[in-house]
Structure 1
């Protein structure tokens, strides 16, 4: 045992013995007839000694002897000494009050548990029941000033010690106030040498309200950087957009502009240089204000899929003041899946651009999982795991049982895969190992990244708990949050609501309520992940007063294709904004993959901020969205192109709309009859797993879920092509043209597939072959248009992935990772095509061979050579096409070939006749 451990063991043992003696004397005294009013006379001296001895804990914290915040520790110790010495020791009336008995009893019980826990923890022999008691008391050890300065907790009062202690301390103060006022204790009156006065009696009136439990809040999640540091970061961001751009702005941070949201003002500074003043509540608000100014004045467009900045020599201020206020304080961004589907291969330059993009769009609470494996690896190494074992874990197999055979482990429910890649072991929350590993992780996290107070943890994401026993659910929640508190007293647990979709049993017996309320209100920040479609705050009573963030998910697996639901997104935002008695504190984007349908996300981001307190309800939506889409097109493509705007409006009324909204609008002039009939017969849900059936494993009876009427899509395609003369130099335009072309061909292919099914049912062999050939032609043409643009080429993404490898073997593994993800996903084809992409090489070498094999099986059935068997087909598809493709390597990286505009025009003229 080291000197440090030996000293701390001795200190904690002495305190444990002291407080145990105090509690023992109270119990014996009460049993032998001592009244409650005389308890202080029996144990007062010992309480004063051992509580004053706790001043050493401030020294322990300040010197780094223990890992605890110095300020928090000082507040805890000094607030007790305040009650003990000036209130109780110096006022006889307080000594005989019931309150003194209550708080001494509460203190002694909590300290017996606390100090025994610390002492035995040093010896690594902490009993399970002591772990549980320590976790219980942890929530209630912050009182008086600590509740405001350190934690801002709202204490739940169902556990006895907290109300016992607080009630006792308040009663003792009340008992002392009269004598203090009469005797003028600790009061300084004028005149005196200091020329100042102080009245201790009146000061107590300000102290007493501090005992009232605070309402739950996550308001302390604020920028850790100073105002000057934030302004400097925004200035650097501006100069990355355009060198010298920061010189045209005066940036100011004023946190008093708004209490419960972010706000930014943009107006003329009216100085000699005619600069623009941006005043906001934070650095991120300033960045949003600059972006709003550049978009409105100069049609600048900075998106995740491209940038268009054309600025004059002098950037002038707006003609009139602009004001923007956010819906809630936070704008969340990310999904645990996004880090694999979209971010996996990024280098720093790509990350820097994206971080800039987030700031410019007002995002201030992004999910940050980058580098998490490094933290866990360091933790596992400290627990004695070898590098080989750690590498195996990151591939999926459970490992804790091998290292801690006596730990209480539960088998988590399997997720898609077998036990080789799933079914991990879950340490029971009551086991000492739970806190031990969790605290080690939090400490490592602090070492690498510092403390930022918001921590993501999803214990049952897409898994059903082993049991819905109330105590189990409460213990899991309790234990997870206690792990966070063990290192960061200001912790906020960020929890995805997705876990509550895993089982209907969360709705039974208030199971979700038991889980969410096991910790104080304000301790959990729920991310309502799919609120634009399935807002769970409605089903779970606003998450039982825990604050939450309304999020738009929209995309699964990074699947491509044009789709969205702009009207519904707006309506759901309007709905939640009008609901009372809920604690929504922000909005966010939670898509599984980016690089698709940017218009949907830009609209949502803009709706997260209210310009000049503008309310966009259902009545105002149709005016708003048509003005907005025109501005969006001008910003994205750089000029007022009538044909482009016409195309965007057609897409708005097709792929970016929903039936139940459009029956209430007055758009007869822009919605054609085919579209109206189609909308009546089909509800456009956001379940887009069947978008682009040509990219799905072929089977009989599929239904295309891609949205849009083929006729209207072709009209939009034609209008978009009309602008190619003036827009074809724009990379963004070319990218959008490729996506629109592919979407139109996908819809055409889906129609041909339906005709093919009909010919198969009728057993018309020749007609079947003609339709099959037509589908194959569409797939070949999808390959053709995709090869004209690098972003739509598998080889380009493979090149980016392989560049992250330091050795040939690593590069091969990264390529296999990418190929697996966009095809069969797992080694046994666990969720085939979930993250499929519309890329060159996938069309020609993966999708087309699958369809040819499918056609061969169907045609053999038509000829009565064999009976069609989907199971047999699936087996052949997997072993002959899918798995070999996922495991192969590309020796050479292809480069784009052909002119996108030329190829798109050829395809438009070819297919518009058969649309």
Structure 2
């Protein structure tokens, strides 16, 4: 492949990808270019050599992946062990494909908090490879922005210590960049800023080498208060107070310009800038013209530094705070921005599309995005067919989207949902169960397991992956496993019963049959569980046991209301479920809190920095803010080993201990429980999760044990 690499601009990059995916000694690949035009690839395989031609590096990566999927039945997902180890390329006739949609967006500001805060170069290399193989052309890139803000604000007159304090802790940087908070859980260290500038440069270099055009953050009006004393206005987000400049203050455009210039100097530019000045915070002035004034000042600063700047704007505020963002306000805001200067991300289009409400954003270029999860919640849930139908409606609209994307708050969960969305940039899907699912199953597990596991996935497609509505939204009920315990249901038990039933809009027996079929397949080939099948065994067990936990909780509530006492056997069974699920989760590293905390600690340069990083890692996924804050507590709701069998189980044990008292004196019991829960959170922040007990079995044997213990009777 060496001769071909030298002749193709993206050849070296794609050759490196092939080595990482296939192994150093993979069969020969010949690379070539297609004429410029719509993103396309073409492949054929003869006599063990794969010939791959494409318009660009991302299209070439999609072409390689398409060949591997269709011809070799081998997809590369987040949980696929690499290298694949394909010894010879099977013959394949010439096959050509052209992208149905021009751009593919990936990531959300929040993803950089809930998933990738502590990733190193190896983690990012794997993720960028995944992006390329799945056709991502426009990734949001935040790593290194710490250094940009340090450079910009020191040039504007602040000292470095002030800037580092303003930035706060690493887990909270995405919300700092969006303007939601400042100075929380830090300060950021000089060492962190320097190492992440280096990492950010490497990430961008690799993404650009594939031909991606990364989107970098921009100024939102939020500044350190020391920059302009008595010239800013306070605003509040979930209890956090920040200061914003008036768009009529000349300093607004000056700061926007300096941040853009500093960013270009340190990280380069692809002329696209993500800025959301009103993300979950209404404008500080209610006047209809105010958002337009912010738009004018933002663009003045951006274009002074980069005449080719395009503003990338999330439509999320229009959905999240629709009472404020009336049709008139949104129209006035969008009309203030020239069409060629704006790209709108319809962030939650699979559930709450704003393009339909605003007539495809009045002619502005826009991208249809799927969000699915909030806080990086790991619940296996989604609506595969519903999301596909929503995307097809958008594609058939008079003003179709210029791109599609993934905007999850946390990634590396529910791979079927996210891969289905990205596949539709290249191939239309109408019937998920018939058009797409058979190929997904064959490519995920290999052809030997496909028949049995397709039956399981067809059942999942009619149960947990046909769940209508935004059921992963934290303001809705997601089940008792990760919920903060309280005694409200003693006064209104019908409330929780209705919520629990809403989560099960399917025959539970179908879910349990899918679980059994997956366990059967894994037992027939235990080695297969080292890859995606092991991940999916944990997912389907979590889906089933979460609903078992809901029913067990309801049984305890009903029992104390009926008898006035707590049944000891029912209590034991309820708490044992947390231990059982925790043991299963511990068999997969990606489902352990310990790995998350160790990744955070790995960036520490000294004991003080380690303490700060570990605190950030613990805090974000549990209380979010302080241990007694009511705003975002349990927002992330991770079903992870160490949390399920430790933190969450301890809280429910406290709840059970006060249950009889609550039946007799609810207010007193509730106040006592709240105090104990706050203390438990404080202890967790100080001590973390206990190391789980060694599991008595692997993911396959434990799956069988739990299936027999909690599965539905035959």
Q: Does residue 385 of structure 2 align to residue 385 of structure 1?
A: no
Aligned-pair CA distance for 1:628: 2.6
Q: TM-score scaled by structure 1? A: 0.66
Q: Partner of 2:412: helix, strand, or coil?
A: coil
8 Å CA contact retained: 2:600, 2:613? yes
The Cα offsets for residues 481-523 of structure 1, whole Å up to 9 and x where unpaired, read as: 1211111111111111112224335553621122112121121
For residues 869-915 of structure 1, the C-alpha deviation after alignment (integer angstroms, 9 at most, x for no partner) is 57514522433212211222469798766322222211211122579
Task: Give how far 1:568 is off.
Answer: 0.7
- Structure 1 residue 424 and structure 2 residue 242: aligned? yes
1:304 aligns with 2:78: yes
CA contact (8 A) 1:741 1:904 kept: yes
Equivalent position SS for 1:278: strand
In structure 1, stretches of 5+ residues that fail to align are: 1-225, 660-682
1: distance between equivalents of 2:644 and 2:96? 48
The answer (yes or no) to whether the contact 2:374–2:408 under 8 Å persists in 1 is yes
- Go from structure 1 to structure 2 and tell me whether the alpha carbon gap of 1:723 and 1:892 turns closer, same or farther (over 3 Å shift): closer
Q: How does 1:622-633 map to 2 (within 5 A)?
A: 625-633=433-441
Which residue of 383, 393, 402 corresponds with 1:565?
Answer: 383
Partner of 2:429: 616
**Are 1:263 and 2:44 counterparts?**
no
| TM-score when normalising by structure 2 | 0.84
Judged with a 3 Å threshold, the aligned counterparts in structure 2 of structure 1 residues 310 and 793 are, in CA distance, closer, same or farther, namely closer
Structure 1 equivalent of residue 671 of structure 2: 872
CA–CA separation in structure 1 for the residues paired with 2:570 and 2:689 = 32
Give the structure 2 partner of residue 853 of structure 1: 654
Please tell me whether residue 516 in structure 1 is matched to residue 334 in structure 2: yes
Query: How far 1:366 moved relative to its partner?
Result: 0.5
2:446 paired residue number: 638
Alignment pair present for 1:721 and 2:519: yes
Flag the 1:727–1:377 CA change in 2: closer, same or farther, 3 A. farther
The match for 1:796 among 577, 592, 595 is 595
Contact 2:662 2:670 in 1 (8 A): no
Q: Quick one: structure 1 residues 801 and 897, their matched pair in 2 at CA, closer, same or farther if it must change by over 3 Å?
A: farther
Q: Separation in 2 of the partners of 1:314 and 1:782?
A: 41
| Equivalent residues in 2 for 1:325-724, closer than 5 Å | 325-327=99-101, 329-395=102-168, 396-397=182-183, 400-405=224-229, 408-412=231-235, 414-417=236-239, 422-504=240-322, 507-508=325-326, 510-580=328-398, 582=399, 584-610=401-427, 615-617=428-430, 621=431, 625-641=433-449, 642-658=451-467, 685=471, 687=473, 689-699=476-486, 700-701=488-489, 702=496, 703-704=499-500, 706-707=503-504, 709-724=507-522
Cα distance in 2 between the residues matched to 1:352 and 1:284: 15
Check the 8 A contact 2:375/2:410 in 1, yes or no. Answer: yes
Task: Find the aligned partners of 1:857 and 1:723 in 2 and give their Cα distance.
Answer: 44
Retained in 2: the 8 A contact 1:239–1:246? no
| Aligned equivalents of 1:554, 1:227: Cα separation in 2 | 41
Give the root-mean-square deviation of aligned CA atoms.
Answer: 2.5
Q: Cα distance 1:487–1:802, how it changes in 2: closer, same or farther (>3 A)?
A: same
* Offset at residue 685 of structure 1 (A): 4.6
Contact 1:549 1:587 (8 Å CA) reproduced: yes
Deviations 1:384-411 (A, max 9, x none): 32333223211224863333236x3222
Shift of 1:309: 5.4
| Structure 1 position 777 matched with structure 2 position 564 | no
Give the alignment of 1:36-115 within 5 angstroms: none
1:812 corresponds to = 611
CA contact (8 A) 2:471 2:477 kept: no
Q: Which has the higher contact order (CA 8 A, sep 6+)?
A: 2
Question: For residues 306 and 26 of structure 2, what CA distance do their matches in structure 1 show?
Answer: 39
Distance 2:471 2:689 in 1: 38
Alpha-carbon distance between aligned partners in 2 of 1:481 and 1:728, rounded to the nearest angstrom: 57
Contact 1:561 1:706 in 2 (8 A): no
- Secondary structure of the corresponding residue to residue 609 of structure 1: coil
Counterparts of 1:231 and 1:902 in 2: how far apart (Å)?
A: 45
Give the structure with the higher percent helix. Answer: 1
1:405-461 deviation digits (Å, cap 9, x = unpaired): 36x32223x1112xxxx2211111111111221111111101111121111101000
Aligned-pair CA distance for 1:627: 4.9
**Distance between the aligned counterparts of 2:353 and 2:375, measured in 1?**
20
Instruction: Return the offset for 1:267.
Output: 3.6
Residue equivalent to 1:233: 13
Contact 2:72 2:90 in 1 (8 A): no
Supply the distance in 1 between the matched residues of 2:61 and 2:442 (Cα, whole angstroms): 21
CA distance in 1, matches of 2:470, 2:635: 20
Give 1:525 shift.
0.3
Please give the per-residue CA displacement for 1:536-584, whole angstroms capped at 9, x wherever unaligned. Answer: 011112112110000000111111121110111110111011111x252
Map Cα deviations across residues 740-784 of structure 1 (whole Å, 9 max, x no partner): 222221111111112222223223425x44332221121121122
Retained in 1: the 8 A contact 2:43–2:50?
yes
In the TM superposition, residue 470 of structure 1 has moved relative to its aligned partner by 3.2
Cα distance between partner residues in 2 of 1:869 and 1:229:
71
* Deviation, structure 1 residue 289: 1.1
- The Cα shift of 1:644 comes to 2.1
Alignment partner, residue 212 of structure 2: none
Deviation at 1:792, TM superposition (A): 2.0
1:834 aligns with 2:645: no
Tell me which structure has the larger Cα radius of gyration.
Answer: 1
Whether 1:881 and 2:688 are equivalent positions in the alignment is: no
8 A contact 2:464–2:543 mirrored in 1:
no
Aligned CA distance change for structure 1 residues 880 and 547 (closer, same or farther; 3 Å):
same
Q: Number of paired residues?
A: 640
Q: CA deviation at 1:235?
A: 1.9
Question: How much has 1:238 moved relative to structure 2?
Answer: 1.3
Query: Aligned to 2:56, which of 282, 288, 291?
Result: 282
How far, CA to CA, are the matches of 1:657 and 1:331 in structure 2?
25
Aligned to 1:787: 586
